[in-house]
Structure 1
Amino acid sequence: MIRHYALRGHRHRIRTGRCGCASAHEHSSGHRRAHHCFLHYSPSGIGTVEELMEVWTMNRLSEIDKPVGLLNTAGFFAAFLGFIDHMVDTKFLPAAHRHSISVDADASALIDKLHSHARVDVPKWL
Protein backbone atom coordinates (compact mmCIF):
# COMPACT_ATOMS: atom_id res chain seq x y z
CA MET A 1 0.00 0.00 0.00
CA ILE A 2 1.18 3.47 -0.74
CA ARG A 3 2.37 4.96 2.56
CA HIS A 4 0.58 8.28 2.04
CA TYR A 5 -2.79 6.53 1.73
CA ALA A 6 -2.11 4.16 4.61
CA LEU A 7 -1.37 7.11 6.88
CA ARG A 8 -4.71 8.69 5.89
CA GLY A 9 -6.59 5.48 6.73
CA HIS A 10 -7.25 4.34 3.14
CA ARG A 11 -6.60 0.64 3.41
CA HIS A 12 -7.88 -1.96 0.97
CA ARG A 13 -10.08 -4.47 2.79
CA ILE A 14 -8.90 -7.44 0.74
CA ARG A 15 -5.35 -6.68 -0.38
CA THR A 16 -2.82 -7.02 2.40
CA GLY A 17 0.45 -6.65 0.48
CA ARG A 18 2.44 -3.49 0.91
CA CYS A 19 4.58 -1.95 -1.79
CA GLY A 20 6.18 0.69 0.45
CA CYS A 21 5.89 3.37 -2.20
CA ALA A 22 5.84 6.98 -1.14
CA SER A 23 3.34 8.10 -3.81
CA ALA A 24 0.90 6.84 -6.43
CA HIS A 25 3.31 8.06 -9.14
CA GLU A 26 6.16 5.98 -7.68
CA HIS A 27 3.82 2.98 -7.46
CA SER A 28 2.76 3.34 -11.12
CA SER A 29 6.33 3.87 -12.29
CA GLY A 30 7.33 0.58 -10.69
CA HIS A 31 4.50 -1.21 -12.49
CA ARG A 32 5.46 0.29 -15.85
CA ARG A 33 9.04 -0.96 -15.50
CA ALA A 34 8.23 -4.42 -14.13
CA HIS A 35 5.28 -5.67 -16.15
CA HIS A 36 5.02 -7.03 -19.69
CA CYS A 37 1.53 -5.60 -20.23
CA PHE A 38 -1.15 -3.62 -18.44
CA LEU A 39 -4.43 -5.35 -17.71
CA HIS A 40 -7.29 -3.54 -16.01
CA TYR A 41 -9.77 -6.12 -14.90
CA SER A 42 -11.97 -5.01 -12.08
CA PRO A 43 -14.46 -2.32 -11.26
CA SER A 44 -12.58 0.14 -9.12
CA GLY A 45 -12.02 3.80 -8.48
CA ILE A 46 -10.90 6.76 -10.52
CA GLY A 47 -7.25 5.95 -9.82
CA THR A 48 -7.50 2.82 -11.96
CA VAL A 49 -9.02 4.77 -14.84
CA GLU A 50 -6.36 7.46 -14.45
CA GLU A 51 -3.61 4.84 -14.55
CA LEU A 52 -5.15 3.26 -17.66
CA MET A 53 -5.21 6.64 -19.40
CA GLU A 54 -1.61 7.37 -18.34
CA VAL A 55 -0.33 4.05 -19.73
CA TRP A 56 -2.36 4.50 -22.92
CA THR A 57 -0.86 7.99 -23.36
CA MET A 58 2.66 6.75 -22.67
CA ASN A 59 2.21 4.10 -25.37
CA ARG A 60 1.01 6.79 -27.78
CA LEU A 61 4.04 8.95 -27.01
CA SER A 62 6.39 5.93 -27.43
CA GLU A 63 7.60 6.23 -23.84
CA ILE A 64 6.69 2.55 -23.37
CA ASP A 65 5.64 -0.21 -25.74
CA LYS A 66 3.44 -2.61 -23.82
CA PRO A 67 -0.03 -3.92 -24.59
CA VAL A 68 -2.98 -2.55 -22.64
CA GLY A 69 -6.08 -4.61 -21.96
CA LEU A 70 -9.49 -4.11 -20.38
CA LEU A 71 -11.42 -7.10 -19.09
CA ASN A 72 -14.94 -5.82 -19.65
CA THR A 73 -16.67 -8.03 -17.09
CA ALA A 74 -20.46 -7.69 -17.18
CA GLY A 75 -20.02 -4.67 -19.46
CA PHE A 76 -18.52 -2.59 -16.63
CA PHE A 77 -16.35 -0.52 -18.99
CA ALA A 78 -19.04 -0.14 -21.69
CA ALA A 79 -19.84 3.48 -20.81
CA PHE A 80 -16.12 4.36 -20.71
CA LEU A 81 -15.59 2.70 -24.10
CA GLY A 82 -18.66 4.55 -25.40
CA PHE A 83 -16.98 7.82 -24.42
CA ILE A 84 -13.81 6.78 -26.26
CA ASP A 85 -15.93 5.86 -29.31
CA HIS A 86 -17.56 9.29 -29.09
CA MET A 87 -14.07 10.84 -29.18
CA VAL A 88 -13.42 8.91 -32.41
CA ASP A 89 -16.82 9.85 -33.90
CA THR A 90 -16.18 13.55 -33.26
CA LYS A 91 -12.65 13.29 -34.73
CA PHE A 92 -11.00 14.07 -31.40
CA LEU A 93 -9.18 10.72 -31.42
CA PRO A 94 -7.95 8.63 -34.37
CA ALA A 95 -9.73 5.27 -34.64
CA ALA A 96 -6.36 3.49 -34.56
CA HIS A 97 -5.79 4.80 -31.04
CA ARG A 98 -9.14 3.41 -29.92
CA HIS A 99 -8.14 -0.01 -31.15
CA SER A 100 -4.74 0.09 -29.48
CA ILE A 101 -6.44 -1.10 -26.28
CA SER A 102 -7.47 -4.76 -26.28
CA VAL A 103 -10.94 -5.30 -24.82
CA ASP A 104 -12.84 -8.51 -24.15
CA ALA A 105 -15.31 -9.93 -21.63
CA ASP A 106 -13.51 -13.30 -21.70
CA ALA A 107 -10.20 -13.44 -19.83
CA SER A 108 -8.63 -16.11 -22.08
CA ALA A 109 -9.57 -14.23 -25.23
CA LEU A 110 -8.14 -11.01 -23.78
CA ILE A 111 -4.85 -12.72 -22.91
CA ASP A 112 -4.66 -14.01 -26.50
CA LYS A 113 -5.21 -10.46 -27.76
CA LEU A 114 -2.46 -9.14 -25.49
CA HIS A 115 -0.05 -11.83 -26.74
CA SER A 116 -0.70 -10.81 -30.35
CA HIS A 117 -0.34 -7.08 -29.59
CA ALA A 118 1.02 -5.01 -32.45
CA ARG A 119 2.09 -1.43 -31.81
CA VAL A 120 -0.15 1.23 -33.34
CA ASP A 121 1.69 4.23 -34.72
CA VAL A 122 -0.40 7.13 -35.94
CA PRO A 123 1.26 10.27 -37.29
CA LYS A 124 0.53 13.45 -35.38
CA TRP A 125 -2.69 14.65 -36.97
CA LEU A 126 -3.48 17.94 -35.22
Structure 2
Amino acid sequence: MRSAELAVQHLILLVSFTSALDKELTISSKLLLDEIVYGPDDSINWLAVLCDDFGPRKTGSYALEEAIDWVVKSLRSDGLRVHAEPVPMLPNWTRGDDSAYVIAVAHELEFGFDFAPGEKVSVHLSL
Protein backbone atom coordinates (compact mmCIF):
# COMPACT_ATOMS: atom_id res chain seq x y z
CA MET A 1 0.00 0.00 0.00
CA ARG A 2 1.35 3.41 -0.91
CA SER A 3 2.32 5.69 1.94
CA ALA A 4 -0.14 8.40 0.83
CA GLU A 5 -3.03 5.93 0.92
CA LEU A 6 -1.91 4.70 4.31
CA ALA A 7 -1.69 8.27 5.62
CA VAL A 8 -5.24 9.00 4.40
CA GLN A 9 -6.54 5.84 6.06
CA HIS A 10 -4.84 6.81 9.33
CA LEU A 11 -6.32 10.31 9.10
CA ILE A 12 -9.83 8.93 8.52
CA LEU A 13 -9.39 6.55 11.45
CA LEU A 14 -8.14 9.38 13.66
CA VAL A 15 -11.06 11.65 12.75
CA SER A 16 -13.54 8.81 13.34
CA PHE A 17 -11.93 7.96 16.68
CA THR A 18 -11.85 11.61 17.76
CA SER A 19 -15.51 12.04 16.84
CA ALA A 20 -16.50 8.88 18.74
CA LEU A 21 -14.33 9.89 21.68
CA ASP A 22 -15.95 13.32 21.82
CA LYS A 23 -19.38 11.70 22.08
CA GLU A 24 -18.15 9.49 24.92
CA LEU A 25 -16.71 12.27 27.06
CA THR A 26 -18.56 12.76 30.28
CA ILE A 27 -19.56 16.15 31.62
CA SER A 28 -16.77 16.03 34.19
CA SER A 29 -14.19 15.31 31.48
CA LYS A 30 -15.44 18.23 29.42
CA LEU A 31 -15.31 20.47 32.49
CA LEU A 32 -11.75 19.36 33.15
CA LEU A 33 -10.69 19.99 29.55
CA ASP A 34 -12.39 23.40 29.57
CA GLU A 35 -10.57 24.26 32.80
CA ILE A 36 -7.22 23.29 31.30
CA VAL A 37 -7.76 25.20 28.07
CA TYR A 38 -9.89 28.16 29.13
CA GLY A 39 -9.46 28.29 32.92
CA PRO A 40 -7.72 30.94 34.99
CA ASP A 41 -4.52 28.92 35.43
CA ASP A 42 -1.40 29.43 33.37
CA SER A 43 -1.07 26.06 31.63
CA ILE A 44 -1.59 27.43 28.11
CA ASN A 45 0.65 30.42 28.89
CA TRP A 46 3.29 28.04 30.21
CA LEU A 47 3.18 26.05 27.00
CA ALA A 48 3.38 29.26 24.97
CA VAL A 49 6.51 30.36 26.86
CA LEU A 50 8.17 26.97 26.41
CA CYS A 51 7.43 26.97 22.67
CA ASP A 52 7.96 30.65 21.87
CA ASP A 53 10.77 31.66 24.21
CA PHE A 54 12.81 28.46 24.33
CA GLY A 55 11.91 26.91 20.99
CA PRO A 56 13.01 23.37 20.20
CA ARG A 57 14.57 21.70 23.22
CA LYS A 58 16.72 18.89 21.87
CA THR A 59 18.53 16.60 24.29
CA GLY A 60 21.75 18.23 25.42
CA SER A 61 20.90 21.63 23.94
CA TYR A 62 21.34 24.97 25.62
CA ALA A 63 17.61 25.67 25.10
CA LEU A 64 16.70 22.53 27.08
CA GLU A 65 18.92 23.54 29.99
CA GLU A 66 17.43 27.05 30.01
CA ALA A 67 13.88 25.65 29.83
CA ILE A 68 14.52 23.28 32.74
CA ASP A 69 15.90 26.13 34.84
CA TRP A 70 12.85 28.26 33.97
CA VAL A 71 10.40 25.46 34.86
CA VAL A 72 12.10 24.81 38.21
CA LYS A 73 12.14 28.54 39.03
CA SER A 74 8.46 28.92 38.04
CA LEU A 75 7.32 25.94 40.09
CA ARG A 76 9.30 27.11 43.11
CA SER A 77 7.72 30.57 42.82
CA ASP A 78 4.33 28.81 42.97
CA GLY A 79 5.36 27.25 46.28
CA LEU A 80 6.21 23.76 45.05
CA ARG A 81 9.28 21.84 46.19
CA VAL A 82 11.02 20.73 43.01
CA HIS A 83 14.56 20.03 41.88
CA ALA A 84 16.33 19.16 38.65
CA GLU A 85 18.62 16.18 38.45
CA PRO A 86 21.75 15.98 36.33
CA VAL A 87 21.85 13.41 33.56
CA PRO A 88 25.37 12.01 33.20
CA MET A 89 27.12 11.58 29.86
CA LEU A 90 24.69 13.63 27.80
CA PRO A 91 26.29 15.11 24.69
CA ASN A 92 26.10 18.86 24.41
CA TRP A 93 24.49 19.57 21.05
CA THR A 94 24.78 22.91 19.27
CA ARG A 95 23.32 23.62 15.85
CA GLY A 96 25.88 24.53 13.24
CA ASP A 97 25.63 26.79 10.20
CA ASP A 98 24.38 24.10 7.82
CA SER A 99 21.91 25.00 5.10
CA ALA A 100 20.13 23.31 2.20
CA TYR A 101 19.00 24.52 -1.22
CA VAL A 102 16.62 23.16 -3.83
CA ILE A 103 18.64 22.92 -7.04
CA ALA A 104 16.19 20.99 -9.23
CA VAL A 105 12.50 20.20 -9.28
CA ALA A 106 11.89 16.49 -8.71
CA HIS A 107 8.61 16.47 -10.66
CA GLU A 108 5.93 18.83 -11.89
CA LEU A 109 3.11 19.62 -9.50
CA GLU A 110 -0.47 19.21 -10.66
CA PHE A 111 -3.31 21.01 -8.90
CA GLY A 112 -7.05 20.51 -9.24
CA PHE A 113 -9.39 23.41 -8.58
CA ASP A 114 -13.02 23.28 -7.42
CA PHE A 115 -14.09 25.54 -10.27
CA ALA A 116 -12.20 23.66 -13.00
CA PRO A 117 -14.28 21.60 -15.46
CA GLY A 118 -12.43 18.40 -14.61
CA GLU A 119 -9.34 19.00 -16.69
CA LYS A 120 -5.84 18.68 -15.32
CA VAL A 121 -4.14 21.99 -14.80
CA SER A 122 -0.36 21.91 -14.76
CA VAL A 123 1.49 24.58 -12.85
CA HIS A 124 5.13 25.05 -13.76
CA LEU A 125 7.25 26.53 -11.01
CA SER A 126 10.53 28.30 -11.73
CA LEU A 127 13.03 28.19 -8.97
| Rg (Cα) greater in structure | 2
- Same fold, TM exceeding 0.5? no
**TM-score, length-scaled by structure 1:** 0.24
- Which structure ranks higher in relative contact order (CA pairs < 8 Å, sequence separation ≥ 6)? 1
**TM-score, length-scaled by structure 2:** 0.24
The structure in which a higher percent of residues are strand is: 1
